[in-house]
Amino acid sequence: MEYENIRKEFFSNISHELRTPINVILSAIQLIEVTNIPGKSQNKFVGKYLDTMKRNCYRLMRTFNNIIEVTKVDTDYYDINFQNIDIVDIVREVTEEVEEYIKDIEVKVIFNSKLKEKIIAADPEKIENIILNILSNAVKFTKSGGGGKIIVNVFEKEESIFISIEDTGIGIPEDKLDMIFEKFTQVNKSLTRNHEGSGMGLALVKSLVDKHNGRITVKSSLGVGSEFIIELPIRNISDEVAVEAINYNTYSNLYEKIKIEFSDIYGI
């Protein structure tokens, strides 16, 4: 127990230690942005540099979050706050918000589901993380222009809910399909590649899906596209076990989360 307590304390300290300085830098940048009114004395490059600084703060935050989460998720004390939530609504909200966020690049994001509503036991914050992670990969690996398309579908089959995220991107070679859910795995590791990332996203996604007693699979064809399918069991939990939904203001920080999750992608 003592060991577990030390670990717990370590994680909360390290999260604080890593995140606080970036938040301070970000706040300072925001302050400069509002006080730095364009005028004669303003250096025309200041805005550009501030953008670069901001983007890189978000990238650091994404890496830290992923490192912390991926280290913590497989331990016993990782908190999953199950609530009875409308899974269709949450996936729709995340997809629509992403669609709006990436409207400047030529990749279409479409939510397409016949299912209107389905209440299942899940942790809404973790579901958001799962969908955002897969969607950001889909955008990252789909070329802007040329009719690039990402289709998100939610459907019910037997005792499960399926969430499918399909893209028309570069695809994944067949011999790499099993590896992409392992930590630090990237198909193209070369430093000259035109995508950033740390290879932790899908490892985290898989652990989070496992925590929901679900399953994630992928189908892909090189040069044609990829489809990630998440299967979640349909079950509800009793009110006594469910965490009060009021604790979680579902969509309030979604925009901020998207900014962090998409900070790796150039051109947005």
Residues in contact with ligand ADP by CB under 6 A are 137-138, 141, 167, 169-172, 180, 185-188, 197-203, 226
> Smallest gap, in angstroms, from Cβ of residue 84 to ligand ADP?
29
Residue whose CB is less far from ligand ADP, 82 or 181? 181
Residue whose CB is less far from ligand ADP, 171 or 233? 171
Nearest residue to the partner ligand ADP, using Cβ: 197
Residue whose CB is less far from ligand ADP, 94 or 121? 94
Distances (CA, A) of 151 to 164, 197, 229: 8, 23, 12
> Smallest gap, in angstroms, from Cβ of residue 228 to ligand ADP?
7
Residue whose CB is less far from ligand ADP, 83 or 168? 168
> Could you give the angle at which helices 201-211 and 124-140 cross, rounded to 10 degrees?
150
Q: How far is CA 82 from the centre of its chain?
A: 19
CA distance linking residue 229 with residue 155, whole number of Å: 11
CA distance linking residue 46 with residue 27, whole number of Å: 16
> Smallest gap, in angstroms, from Cβ of residue 200 to ligand ADP?
6
Residue whose CB is less far from ligand ADP, 48 or 143? 143
> Smallest gap, in angstroms, from Cβ of residue 108 to ligand ADP?
15
> Could you give the angle at which helices 2-35 and 46-72 cross, rounded to 10 degrees?
170
> Smallest gap, in angstroms, from Cβ of residue 223 to ligand ADP?
10
Count of residues in the chain: 268
Residue whose CB is less far from ligand ADP, 123 or 261? 261
> Smallest gap, in angstroms, from Cβ of residue 256 to ligand ADP?
19
